[in-house]
């Protein structure tokens, strides 16, 4: 602040007042009145200026906005971060697997011509254009188109399908495609991170990523003729996610999204994916043979239970001519109650036992016939699509 010097201003000197001729008279201080008056005016002006400047200083000092110490020094004027946030596990999974997940459109013929029958998702597992999806995604299709994450669209042909597992392999004419890595679903634990990638509700929501956890392991479900061995997750799975990828935090596919239990069952967060270990053998069989070769007894039938629950098993409606069951002496109306020393209460139980064997194996079998048990040895043959 600038300093101001003041000249000393002496007091105005007034002469003493004395009576004269009865009147009061003032004597002038020669040459000093005007000067003293001017000095007084100058003093007032200087005081006014000084006060104004001092006041301005005080106002400026105490009203200057303080620095906003909460302002992030790393932000520019438009509040855009100058550096990216570190990637989390879901970011990494999305970037790794997302390019290998495709959209699938299913078209069929009707009275009105070619119509869209539905849409779903698929996973590229071979760079030469091989894609795995659910069978129900391409079922009944006369035309299947595939849209890549890049936006390119290709026509696809069916390599092979398996209705029982609800899996199919299709192929597009393309090379050097991004592929997804299959993991090991036997190492999955309840509570592990689960990331679902697919195209729920069609192309408009292509590449949707949802996340949750693994809710349960080794579920077995039967729906519309298919038997599912699945992982349960609370990651959101919606129509169109079918055939898409369920991934672990390492960016490996651990399941193929297939089913959900919806609000009609008053349930939320219950989605299911075919475990990838279950799918691997089916994919290999389709790639090698164009179908899945499974061992079978050579019978057709259904699950039954007596009224009192004492007898449960698989009721034989028909025995396939030339099958292992026919050769062993199995007859219609027999109830298969045990195979390979395992109690059979339903078709699912029978299928689970047979899946542990291969074509040509011999298994023990017990049936309930006319009120008593009978034992047989059956050589497993290749199960036809219409067999059980």
3-state secondary structure the chain: CCCCCCCCCCCCCCCCCEEECCEEECCCCCCCHHHHHHHHHHHHHHHHHHHHHHHHHHHHHHHCCCCCCCCCCCECCCCCECCCCCCCHHHHHHHHHHHHEEEEEEEEEECCEEEEEEEEEEEEEECCCEEEEEHHHHCCCCEEEEECCCCCEEEEEEEEEECCCCEEEEEECCCCCCCCEECCHHHCCCCCEEEEEECCCCHHHCCEEEEEEEEEEEEEEEECCEEEEEEEECCCCCCCCCCCEEECCCCEEEEEEEEECCHHHCCCCCEEEEEHHHHHHHHHHHHHHCCCCCEECCEEEEEEECCCCCCEEEEEEEECCCCHHHHHCCCCCCEEEEECCEECCCHHHHHHHHCCCCCCCEEEEEEEECCEEEEEEEECEECCCCCC
Percent of the chain residues past pLDDT 90, beyond the cut: 58
Give the per-residue pLDDT at 70: 39
How many CB atoms are closer than 10 A to CB 77?
5
Cα 304 to the center of its chain, rounded Å: 40
Listed range (79-93, 159-173, 363-377) with the worst mean pLDDT: 79-93
Q: How far apart are CA 85 and CA 91, in angstroms?
A: 11
Q: Which of 121, 185, 242, 258 is catalytic?
A: 242
Pairing of strands 101-110, 362-369: unpaired
Mean pLDDT throughout 335-346?
A: 95
Place of tokens 């005016």: 41
Q: Per-residue pLDDT for 19 more than 70?
A: no
Q: How far apart are CA 144 and CA 128, in angstroms?
A: 17
Q: Active site includes 242?
A: yes
Q: How far apart are CA 288 and CA 262, in angstroms?
A: 36
Q: Which of 162, 166, 334, 349 is catalytic?
A: 166
Q: Active site includes 357?
A: no
Q: How far apart are CA 77 and CA 83, in angstroms?
A: 14
Q: Active site includes 166?
A: yes
Q: Per-residue pLDDT for 270 more than 60?
A: yes
Mean pLDDT throughout 187-216?
A: 93
CB 107 within 8 A of CB 115: yes
Q: Per-residue pLDDT for 234 more than 90?
A: yes
Q: Which of 94, 119, 121, 136 is catalytic?
A: 136
Give the per-residue pLDDT at 11: 42
Listed range (16-20, 94-98, 160-164, 340-344) with the worst mean pLDDT: 16-20
CB 179 within 8 A of CB 96: no
Listed range (12-26, 83-97, 147-161, 265-279) with the worst mean pLDDT: 12-26
CA-based angle 186:188:192, to the nearest 5? 180
Percent of the chain residues past pLDDT 70, beyond the cut: 75
Pairing of strands 372-379, 362-369: antiparallel
């Amino acid at each position: 602040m600038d300093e101001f010097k003041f000249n000393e201003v002496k007091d105005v000197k007034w002469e003493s007042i004395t009576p004269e001729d009865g009147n009061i008279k003032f004597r002038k201080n020669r040459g000093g009145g005007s000067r003293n008056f001017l000095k007084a005016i100058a003093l007032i002006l200087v005081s006014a200026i000084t006060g104004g400047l001092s006041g301005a200083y005080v106002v400026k000092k105490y009203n200057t906005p303080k620095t906003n110490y909460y302002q992030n020094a790393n932000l520019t004027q438009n509040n855009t971060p100058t550096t990216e946030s570190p990637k989390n596990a879901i970011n990494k999974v999305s970037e790794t697997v997302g390019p290998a997940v495709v959209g699938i459109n299913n078209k069929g013929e009707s009275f009105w011509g070619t119509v869209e029958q539905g849409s779903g998702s698929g996973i590229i597992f071979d760079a030469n254009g091989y894609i795995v999806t659910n069978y129900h995604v391409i079922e009944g299709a006369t035309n299947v188109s595939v849209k890549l994450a890049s936006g390119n669209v290709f026509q696809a042909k069916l390599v092979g399908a398996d209705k029982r597992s609800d899996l199919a392999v299709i192929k597009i004419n393309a090379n050097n495609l991004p592929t997804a890595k299959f993991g090991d679903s036997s190492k999955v634990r309840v509570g592990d991170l689960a990331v679902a990638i697919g195209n729920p509700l069609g192309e408009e929501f292509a590449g949707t990523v949802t996340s949750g956890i693994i809710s349960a392991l080794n579920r077995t479900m039967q729906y519309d003729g298919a038997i599912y061995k699945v992982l349960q997750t609370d990651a959101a799975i919606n129509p169109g996610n079918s055939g898409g990828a369920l991934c672990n935090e390492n960016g490996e596919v651990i399941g193929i999204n297939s089913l959900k239990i919806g609000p009609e069952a008053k349930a939320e967060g219950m989605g299911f994916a075919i475990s990838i270990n279950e799918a691997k053998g089916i994919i290999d069989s389709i790639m090698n043979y164009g179908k899945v070769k499974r061992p079978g007894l050579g019978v057709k039938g259904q699950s039954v239970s007596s009224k009192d629950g004492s007898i449960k098993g698989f009721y034989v409606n028909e025995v396939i001519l030339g099958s292992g069951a026919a050769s062993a002496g199995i007859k219609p109306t027999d109830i298969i109650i045990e195979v390979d020393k395992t109690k059979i209460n339903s078709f699912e139980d029978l299928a689970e036992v047979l899946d542990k064997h291969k074509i040509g194996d011999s298994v023990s079998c017990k049936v309930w016939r006319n009120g008593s048990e009978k034992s047989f040895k059956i050589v497993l043959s290749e199960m036809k699509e219409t067999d059980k």
